[in-house]
Amino acid sequence: MVRYFYALTPFVTVGTVSILALPWLGLVALMVFALLALVALATLAWAIVVAPYLLIRSIGRRWHGRSVAYQPSAALSLAQRERA
Protein backbone atom coordinates (compact mmCIF):
# COMPACT_ATOMS: atom_id res chain seq x y z
CA MET A 1 0.00 0.00 0.00
CA VAL A 2 2.81 2.44 0.89
CA ARG A 3 4.63 1.64 -2.37
CA TYR A 4 1.55 2.76 -4.26
CA PHE A 5 1.73 6.22 -2.63
CA TYR A 6 5.43 6.49 -3.40
CA ALA A 7 4.63 5.72 -7.04
CA LEU A 8 2.29 8.74 -7.11
CA THR A 9 4.89 11.16 -5.69
CA PRO A 10 6.20 12.40 -9.09
CA PHE A 11 2.66 13.03 -10.32
CA VAL A 12 1.77 14.99 -7.18
CA THR A 13 4.99 17.02 -7.41
CA VAL A 14 4.56 17.88 -11.10
CA GLY A 15 0.87 18.62 -10.60
CA THR A 16 1.57 20.94 -7.68
CA VAL A 17 4.27 22.86 -9.54
CA SER A 18 2.14 23.21 -12.65
CA ILE A 19 -0.89 24.43 -10.70
CA LEU A 20 1.18 26.95 -8.74
CA ALA A 21 2.76 28.23 -11.96
CA LEU A 22 -0.59 29.30 -13.42
CA PRO A 23 -0.80 33.08 -13.84
CA TRP A 24 -4.21 33.47 -12.24
CA LEU A 25 -2.91 31.85 -9.06
CA GLY A 26 -0.23 34.51 -8.96
CA LEU A 27 -2.98 37.11 -9.17
CA VAL A 28 -4.86 35.45 -6.32
CA ALA A 29 -1.66 35.36 -4.24
CA LEU A 30 -1.12 39.05 -4.99
CA MET A 31 -4.65 39.87 -3.84
CA VAL A 32 -4.17 37.92 -0.62
CA PHE A 33 -0.85 39.68 0.00
CA ALA A 34 -2.44 43.08 -0.68
CA LEU A 35 -5.28 42.31 1.72
CA LEU A 36 -2.84 41.23 4.44
CA ALA A 37 -0.77 44.36 3.88
CA LEU A 38 -3.90 46.50 4.16
CA VAL A 39 -4.89 44.79 7.41
CA ALA A 40 -1.36 45.27 8.79
CA LEU A 41 -1.42 48.95 7.82
CA ALA A 42 -4.80 49.47 9.45
CA THR A 43 -3.60 47.73 12.61
CA LEU A 44 -0.50 49.90 12.72
CA ALA A 45 -2.53 53.07 12.24
CA TRP A 46 -4.95 51.99 14.97
CA ALA A 47 -2.06 51.31 17.35
CA ILE A 48 -0.49 54.70 16.62
CA VAL A 49 -3.77 56.49 17.31
CA VAL A 50 -5.08 54.45 20.25
CA ALA A 51 -1.88 53.75 22.21
CA PRO A 52 -1.23 57.37 23.27
CA TYR A 53 -4.91 57.78 24.16
CA LEU A 54 -4.82 54.71 26.41
CA LEU A 55 -1.53 55.82 27.96
CA ILE A 56 -2.83 59.28 28.81
CA ARG A 57 -6.06 57.81 30.13
CA SER A 58 -4.22 55.37 32.40
CA ILE A 59 -1.95 58.13 33.74
CA GLY A 60 -5.00 60.28 34.44
CA ARG A 61 -6.70 57.45 36.28
CA ARG A 62 -3.60 56.83 38.35
CA TRP A 63 -3.36 60.48 39.35
CA HIS A 64 -7.08 60.58 40.08
CA GLY A 65 -6.86 57.37 42.09
CA ARG A 66 -4.07 58.73 44.25
CA SER A 67 -5.85 61.99 44.95
CA VAL A 68 -9.07 60.23 45.94
CA ALA A 69 -7.38 57.48 47.95
CA TYR A 70 -5.36 59.86 50.10
CA GLN A 71 -7.79 61.94 52.12
CA PRO A 72 -6.53 62.42 55.66
CA SER A 73 -9.57 64.45 56.67
CA ALA A 74 -11.88 61.54 55.85
CA ALA A 75 -9.74 59.17 57.92
CA LEU A 76 -9.71 61.57 60.86
CA SER A 77 -13.44 62.07 60.74
CA LEU A 78 -13.96 58.30 60.77
CA ALA A 79 -11.69 57.96 63.79
CA GLN A 80 -13.54 60.73 65.58
CA ARG A 81 -16.89 59.05 64.91
CA GLU A 82 -15.69 55.76 66.41
CA ARG A 83 -14.62 57.46 69.63
CA ALA A 84 -17.94 59.12 70.13
CB-based contacts of 25, cutoff 8 Å, min separation 6? 19
DSSP string, 5-42: HHHHHHHHHHHHHHHHTSHHHHHHHHHHHHHHHHHHHH
The one-letter amino acid code at 62 reads: R
Per-residue model confidence (pLDDT) at position 36: 94
pLDDT along the chain (84 residues), means of 10: 76 84 82 93 93 86 63 54 53
Q: How far apart are CA 44 and CA 48, in angstroms?
A: 6
Looking at the structure of the chain, the number of domains it has is 1
Domain that residue 66 falls in: 2-83
Q: Specify the pTM.
A: 0.45
For the chain, give the longest Cα–Cα distance.
97
